[in-house]
A and B are shown apart, each in its own frame.
Chain A
Amino acid sequence: MESSLILLIIILPLIGAFLNGTVAATNAYRKKEIWGEKFAGILAFSAVGSSFLLSLYAVFVKMSGIDSLSFTPYEWLSVGGLQLNLSFVIDHLSAVMLLVVTGVSSVIHFYSIGYIHGDESSVRYFSYLNLFVFAMLLLILGDSMPVMFVGWEGVGLCSYLLIGFWYKEEEKAIAGKKAFIVNRIGDFGFLLGMFLIFANVGSLTISEVNEFFHHNNSMTFFWTNVAGICLFIGATGKSAQIPLYVWLPDAMAGPTPVSALIHAATMVTAGVYMLCRFHGLYLAAPVALNVVLWIGALTAIFSATIAIYQNDIKKVLAYSTVSQLGFMFMAAGAGAFVIAIFHLMTHAFFKACLFLGSGSVIHAMGGEQDIRFMGGLKKYMPTTYITFLLATLAIAGIPPFAGFFSKDEILWNVFASDHGSKIVWAIGAIAALCTAFYMFRLVYLTFFGKFRGTPEQEHHLHESPSTMTAPLIILGVLSLIGGWIGIPKLLSGGLIPNFFHHYLEPAVSKYGHVELHHYSHSVEYSLMILSVVIAVIGWFTASRLFREVKKELPDPARYSGIPKLLWNKYFVDEIYDKLIVNPIKFLATKVFLNISDKKLIDGAANGSARGWRQVSQVFSYLQTGNIQAYGIYIIFGAALAVALAFYIY
């Protein structure tokens, strides 16, 4: 019963993907439709939706009072010491993730029905989307690293397919390739970590790995940290952290619901989730944890500053995502895994809402994404405006919206934890300030003031259909109330228990947890008030600067000084191009191709191939076609065998 439940949750999206995929293939091949986008959308939505309902049932009914449900449908390979099982587990950690993923996915599938309407390959789109959910579920529920890795690669593949969904436009296809290649670099780190762990632990089951590091860590301190850092490299690839974050802004080339689902709510958080799954390992690797903390903080401030000067509505959101992911890693680095997951969840709500809202705006603007040419949309699309505002308040950290609770707790933990640091706290606070500023800048530029686009566009402005606004409302409400399940004890005076903490505690504190320094309540209160003040400052500044934009916004090309630096994203892409891509290209084309490849390697490879072909040719001359020659070979072989026998005795 339980087992078939888990299996159903996982397999339903796969079935949806398969059906839609086959139909898409036949549609393209036969040039006629078996079923159109409407049916495909409903099929995909119902697959994911029923998966969500089943997850609800599994988590709230089946798992009440139980720590975990596990299920091993299949013994994959069992050779020698290596035992690989296709096993799944729902513990409290994966339960949260499961609900977030299937829930947000259902909402976004529903939104997509309206969004993708009219596209010629919408069936293919739904097939990819379902396949993504399947891979994501594998990643979440897999209890062994290979299963997780299959999911890990699977979501990478789907992300690639969906970024390049409109592959006929070269720029989008290139963005897909960039995402895939950068991810592959990270995956290499993940694989390396996996091998290191297998070599030392002898098992790839996640719970056993954690158990190993918690109890009898026989791995040296050095190698434990190396393994942790290797896995984290994988996470930086998937979750877009320094130095591998460069793909995510470009990934906005994909359809907007995809950006919402994959590049904001679910896939990019996989790295955080993975870190939390391996908290037993990370708690034994303080150096690795410190690396996580610092990289998270740097990413947070770095991308938050970039976002201030971006003019593309989706780019702003993309850098904001990178920055928020940095916050999550900060939390994980401080050892506060619960908080990381908490922020992951609230972020999934408000960032999905923001992306879907931006999708709605772009839809209304007829594809225009530059906020310099928007403005005053408030009166044209009220639902979108209100939900967007809710989500913005949440991300800026204004109480009582969801983001406040999670972000505040992150900062508090970084401040107070053994693994945290005051400097990182300061960085985080500045990043939070930037966040509030650029988000309200976005809101004011988009929804307030006069419309700055062409009259034609203005004529065309309209509220999106209800299939698109309904998800917005759901997510908007969630960004308001989503944080209330994790209200800190302090704030409610201990009256309301911190439900979220309580729920996750058994899953992520099983292998030890990090103690906080003791500070008086007043310190905690003042920090909390400080973070609210920070957010309000950001809001206020943005409001002063952008509420009523009178003059034309400056052309980015004429920026100079710091704005120029930020507009050009610290020239990171250019630096990468100069420092890594170009040298590699140079090496590849000029040095390797011309000199070593053509002369040396080709020479050597061809030479050895040719040489071996000669040997093969000689071998094949033995095959004379004459029966008696063959008979002699047999006799010769027999003599050889007999001689061997005599030689050995």
Chain B
Amino acid sequence: MNFDPIFLIGEFSLVALIVILTLVDAMRKPVFALLGSSAEITPDIESRNRQATWIAGIGLVIVAAVYFIFGKATSGESVSLLHDSLRAGGGVYIGKLAIIGAGILTILLSARYTMAQSIPAADYYLLLCFSLLGALTLIAAENFLMIFLSLEMMSIPIYALVGLKRYNSRVGESAIKYLLLGGLSSAFLLLGISFIYGMTGTLVVNDVLTHLSQVSQTVSSEMLLMGLGLVFIFVGLAFKVSLVPFHAWTPDVYEGAATPVTSFMSVAVKLAAFAVILKIFAGSLLFPAFDPLFSRLFAFFALLTIIYGNSVAIVQKNVKRMLAYSSIAHAGYMALALAPMGHNIEAVQAVLFYGIGYIAMNMLAFGVLVYLTYRDKYCETLEDLTGIARKYPGAAAVMSVAMFSLGGLPPAVGFVGKVQIFLQLINGKFYATAVIALLFSMVALYFYINVIVVMYMKEPEAEVANIDKKSMLPVWLTLGFSTLFILILGILPSPLMEWSLEWAKMLF
């Protein structure tokens, strides 16, 4: 077993960060375990929170730096590790950096949020790091065992994170919704995996591929079980990326969760889950017999998702819910690129491009909501945003950038992403699908532009609430970085295209 630890340097340093965070918090004065029962914030808890925030923030930056520097050496050739369970090196480097980057942006957003909301910071960041670790291994996994484990490792901490909100009368409701439905979808995923395993006797994705290419089309019962297995896997993963009709948890959970958690879920979790979908359905399983099935499956569910997501977003009063439906619709666009199946690396690249760009867009949109939130004054509804441009011109400006990008208008990165996806459709001769999708992205403009209209052109009914501008730097870092990312890569997209292409090559 030749095992070079350099290939997993990112994961190792993240584990080290988790251990340090755990032990440092444990070394403090013992606290009563059920923190939720006491509402007052003592100075001790506050200093504890501050300490955890610093450790998590700086630690994750160090992890990113370590991976950026040492992991670079691995970005050439990729290797299989731990008996074909993880594929490290190569283009995954890009994906892992993107995920870690999303994690850092989330922590920057959380720093002030956790303080203001007096969320137990150590628990919060621990869970976030666990989820991040799961996402990191998930995009590198090439074994169904590893895929399942990483998926759960990514999701379970988020079930708990969703429940970690203080000033909300409905706390816990969204957490239990996510948990129960997540369990249901995991069961489907596992059932699918077990069918595949039953037919092939292996859990390694690439071996399954080899086996599939040998399957003769005449053996219908085998086809049946394999096909059922793949469909169930599709169901399980479609839940994670929230395609309609597996989406129903999304708005409720996004609304209920703390805003930084929502942003993390909507970008990192979605991107990682999409990486797995690409790995299984577009990258590896090039089984021509299943091509028409999954082509239609993706086209059908993606269209359903786009239509539903964009329509329901129109009637939302709550910005977080609106963004949740928008994130559903965006998952639809990404899945749409997979409709022309076949051995198409450009489609994979388009999806990854969109996914990475989407990190910046959503971080920006949710970041503005975090910026405008203080203690029990949430900024969630359209009324809260009405007329803020006068008082907070910076926040309104970056929010407009986010809306432009989400709406797919130039010169933002969302425009380039959409162009690539539609080009895929047109190359694959999916004209009707493309037209419908385009029509509904016009519909989507309505509610994105509406936010800008509300911010700039409406007079606020009540006076715009004051926010405490103390320790706002981390939020501004996130906002500034995301804005630059969106605009620069919107105008000059080719580096991101190269990165996503490199990552796409890994998924084949």
Q: A residues 44-102 with Cβ under 8 Å of B?
A: 74-80, 82, 86
Nearest CB in chain A: distance from B412 CB, A: 14
A642 to B229, CA, bound (A): 10
Q: Tell me, yes or no, whether A625 is within 8 Å of chain B by CB.
A: yes
B235 touches A637 (CB 8 A): yes
With most chain A CB atoms within 10 A of its CB, the pick from B232, B238, B308, B311 is B311
> When the two chains form the complex, which single residue of B227, B249, B297, B497 contacts A649, counting CB atoms closer than 8 Å?
B227
Q: Using Cβ atoms and an 8 Å threshold, which residues of chain B touch A636?
A: 245
Q: Among residues 607 to 624 in chain A, which have CB atoms less than 8 Å away from a CB atom of chain B?
A: 609, 612-613, 615-617, 619-620, 622-623
Is the CB–CB distance between B239 and A634 below 8 Å? yes
Q: A630-B248, A637-B245 are in contact. Are A648 and B296 (CB under 8 A)?
A: yes
A641–B311 contact, CB under 8 A? no
Near A by CB (< 8 A), chain B positions 269-309 give 292-293, 296-297, 300-301, 308
A612 touches B314 (CB 8 A): yes
Which residues of the partner chain B approach A625 to less than 8 Å between Cβ atoms?
252
**Complex alpha-carbon distance, A86 and B223, angstroms:** 50
Q: Which of B152-160, B173-181, B458-466 contacts A (4 or more CB under 8 A)?
A: B173-181
A633 interface neighbour in B177, B234, B248, Cβ under 8 Å? B248
For window 425-478 of B, CB contacts with A under 8 Å fall at: 427, 443, 446
Please indicate the chain A residues that have their CB under 8 angstroms from the CB of B408 in the complex. none
Residues of A within 8 A of B239 (CB): 634
Given contacts A80-B423, A637-B238, contact A648 B292 (CB under 8 A): yes
Chain A 636-647: CB-based contact to B (< 8 A → 1; otherwise 0): 111011101100
> Contacts A613-B314, A649-B293: A641 and B423 contacting too (C-beta < 8 A)?
no
Assess whether A1 is interfacial by the CB under 8 Å rule. Answer: no
Give B206-247 as 1s and 0s: 1 = Cβ < 8 Å from A's Cβ atoms.
000000000000000001000110011011001100001110
Q: How far is the CA of A644 from the CA of B246 in the complex (A)?
A: 16
Contacts of A619 in B (CB 8 A): 308, 311-312
Residue of B whose beta carbon sits closest to that of A615: B311
Q: Is the interface of A mostly helix, strand, loop or mixed?
A: helix
Asked if A367 is at the interface of the complex by the 8 Å CB criterion, the answer is no
Instruction: Decide: A612 and B311 in contact? CB cutoff 8 A.
Output: yes
Q: Is A455 an interface residue (CB 8 A)?
A: no
B371 lies within 8 A of chain A by Cβ:
no
In the assembled complex, how far is the CB of residue B403 from the closest CB belonging to chain A, in whole angstroms?
A: 19
CB distance from B306 to the nearest CB of A (A): 13
Chain A CB within 8 A of B185 CB: yes
Residues of A within 8 A of B185 (CB): 634
The reply to whether the CB of A627 lies closer than 8 angstroms to some CB of chain B is yes
B231 touches A645 (CB 8 A): yes
Range, interface on chain A: 35 or more
CB of B103 to closest CB in A, whole Å = 28
Q: Is A629 among interface residues, defined by CB-CB distance under 8 A? A: yes
**A147–chain B nearest beta-carbon distance, Å:** 12
Judge whether B180 and A644 touch: CB under 8 Å.
no
Q: Is the CB of A79 within 8 A of B181?
A: no
Within the assembled complex, what's the spacing in Å between the Cα atoms of A466 and B188?
84
Encode contact with A along B170-208: 1 for CB under 8 Å, 0 otherwise: 000000110011001100100000000000000000000
Given contacts A77-B416, A79-B419, A633-B246, contact A638 B188 (CB under 8 A): yes
Nearest CB in chain B: distance from A206 CB, A: 21
User: Do A627 and B423 form a contact, CB below 8 Å, given A77-B416, A619-B312?
Assistant: no
Interface string of B301-331 (1 = CB under 8 A from A): 1000000100110111000000000000000
A493 in the interface (beta carbon within 8 A) = no
Q: How many Å lie between the Cα of A645 and that of B291 in the bound state?
A: 11
Whether B293 lies near A74 (C-beta < 8 A) is no
B492 part of interface (Cβ distance < 8 Å): yes
Q: Is B420 an interface residue (CB 8 A)?
A: yes
B37 within 8 A of A: no
Distance in angstroms from A649 CB to nearest chain B CB is 7
The distance from the CB of B173 to the nearest CB of chain A, in whole angstroms, is: 9
Any B CB within 8 A of the CB of A631: yes
Say if the beta carbon of B101 comes within 8 Å of chain A.
Answer: no
- Residue in B181, B248, B492 whose beta carbon sits within 8 Å of that of A76 in the complex: B492
| A74 adjacent to B492 (CB under 8 Å) | yes
Beta-carbon contact of A634 and B315 below 8 Å: no
Q: Determine the chain B residues whose CB is within 8 A of the CB of A627 once the complex forms.
A: 176-177, 180-181
Interface residues as binary, A593-613 with B (CB distance below 8 Å gives 1, 0 otherwise): 000000000000000010011
- Cβ B176 vs Cβ A644 within 8 A: no
Most buried by A among B181, B245, B497: B245
Question: Nearest Cβ in chain A — how far from B449, in angstroms?
Answer: 13
Chain B contacts for A645, CB-based, 8 A: 227-228, 231, 293, 297
- Specify which of A80, A616, A636 lies most central, judged by the most chain B CB atoms within 10 Å of its CB: A616
Give the nearest-CB partner of B231 in chain A: A641
Q: B251 at interface (Cβ–Cβ under 8 A)?
A: yes
Residue of B nearest to A624 (CB): B248
The residue among A77, A613, A636 with the most chain B CB atoms within 10 A of its own CB is A77
Are the C-beta atoms of A631 and B494 separated by less than 8 Å? no
CB distance from A641 to the nearest CB of B (A): 5
Smallest CB separation, A185 vs chain B (Å): 22
Q: How far is B322's CA from A623's CA once the two chains are assembled, in angstroms?
A: 13
A631 touches B314 (CB 8 A): no
A649 to chain B: which residues have CB within 8 Å?
A: 223, 227, 293
- Report Cα–Cα, A638/B185, bound state, in Å: 10
Of chain B, the residue at the smallest CB distance from A150 is: B491
The verdict on A74 contacting B494 (CB below 8 Å), with A631-B180, A634-B184 known, is yes
Contact indicator B249/A630 (Cβ below 8 Å): yes
The one of A78, A80, A616, A620 in contact with B497, judged by C-beta atoms closer than 8 angstroms, is: A78
For A77, what are the chain B residues with a Cβ–Cβ distance below 8 Å?
416, 493-494, 497
Chain B hits for A629, CB < 8 A: 248
A137 to B292, CA, bound (A): 51
B494 x A80 contact (CB < 8 A): no
Residues of A within 8 A of B252 (CB): 623, 625
B227 touches A80 (CB 8 A): no
Which A residues are in CB contact (< 8 Å) with B416? 77
Task: Determine the distance from Cα of A182 to Cα of B55 in the docked complex, in whole angstroms.
Answer: 60
| Residues of chain B contacted by A641 (CB below 8 angstroms) | 231, 234-235, 297, 301
Residues of B within 8 A of A78 (CB): 494, 497
Q: Chain B's nearest CB lies how many Å from the CB of A192?
A: 19
Chain A contacts for B443, CB-based, 8 A: 612
- CB distance B184 to A631 under 8 Å? yes
Check B184 against A642 for contact (C-beta < 8 Å): no
User: Please, which residue of chain B has its CB at the minimum distance from the CB of A648?
Assistant: B293
Q: A619 CA to B311 CA in the complex, in Å?
A: 8
Contact B494 A75 (CB under 8 A): yes
Q: Is B246's CB under 8 angstroms from A620's CB?
A: no
Report yes or no: B245 in contact with A634, Cβ–Cβ below 8 A: yes
CA distance A616 to B307 in the complex (A): 10
Q: In the bound complex, how far is the Cα of B346 from the Cα of A615, in angstroms?
A: 35
Q: Could you tell me if A638 and B308 are in contact, using CB atoms closer than 8 angstroms?
A: no
CB pair A642 B231 closer than 8 Å: yes
Docked-complex contact B293 and A634, CB < 8 angstroms: no
Given the contacts A623-B251, A630-B181, A637-B245, A80 and B427 also touching, CB distance less than 8 Å: yes
Q: Tell me, in angstroms, the Cα distance from A251 to B326 when the chains sit together.
A: 45
A638 CB contacts on chain B under 8 angstroms: 188, 231-232, 235
| CA of A616 to CA of B313, assembled, Å | 8
Note all chain A residues with C-beta closer than 8 A to B180.
Answer: 627, 631
Please indicate the chain A residues that have their CB under 8 angstroms from the CB of B188 in the complex. Answer: 634, 638
Q: Nearest CB to that of A629 among chain B residues?
A: B248
Residues of B within 8 A of A622 (CB): 248
Q: 7 smallest A-B Cβ distances: which pairs?
A: A630-B248, A637-B245, A616-B311, A633-B245, A638-B235, A616-B315, A620-B312
User: Please, could you name 8 A-B residue pairs with CB atoms under 8 Å apart, sorted by A?
Assistant: A612-B443, A617-B315, A627-B176, A631-B180, A641-B297, A642-B228, A644-B297, A645-B293
Given contacts A620-B312, A627-B180, A648-B292, 8 further A-B contacts (CB under 8 A): A619-B308, A619-B311, A620-B315, A623-B252, A627-B177, A634-B181, A634-B246, A637-B246
Which A residues lie at the B interface, using CB under 8 A? 74-80, 82, 86, 609, 612-613, 615-617, 619-620, 622-623, 625, 627, 629-631, 633-634, 636-638, 640-642, 644-645, 648-649
